[in-house]
Amino acid sequence: MKIEAINKGSEAKALAFQEFLGFTLPDDYFNFLQKNDGATIDDGYFYVKDLDEYILLELFSDIEECMEDYQEFKDDIPDKSLVIGADPGGAMLLLVTAEVGDFSKGIYFYDHSHFFEASNSDCNTYFVCDTFSEFITILEHTILPQ
């Protein structure tokens, strides 16, 4: 698995983004944004237990794309959450930054287009892991079964 920055990040960009959102980003994701304003992912997979599927992550969105997605999806996703990436089919990676309803903090796979049979209007968001750092580790170590 290889992560390659789309744009160089900075503390100023990350702080401005956090101010735009109106909530605090987790330290590990904030630190990532300081270094990488978006990134492409080469051969990075993660497993979604509730779907029993391996998902190929294509990219971590740059700040501009995150802002656009936030505006578009903020009524569809939990409060204090944002879309931070996507798979090649357009499904999204969601970062939930606070306990909200049935959602705990963490990284989720958001199948907003209901690509998977298990997804529908009532259930299309699936827990992956607790932190962004843990998610990076998962991408680095997940090997597809033969």
What integer pLDDT is reported at residue 70 of this predicted model?
96
pLDDT per position as a tens digit, 72-100: 999 999 999 999 999 999 899 999 999 99
Chain-centre distance for alpha carbon 111: 12
pTM greater than 0.85:
yes
The encoded tokens of residue 139 equal 């991408």
What confidence category does residue 24 fall into, taking pLDDT thresholds of 50, 70 and 90? very high
**Cα separation of 59 and 40, whole Å?**
4
Does residue 28 register a pLDDT over 90? yes
**Cα separation of 8 and 21, whole Å?**
20
Beta-bridge partner residues of 129: 107
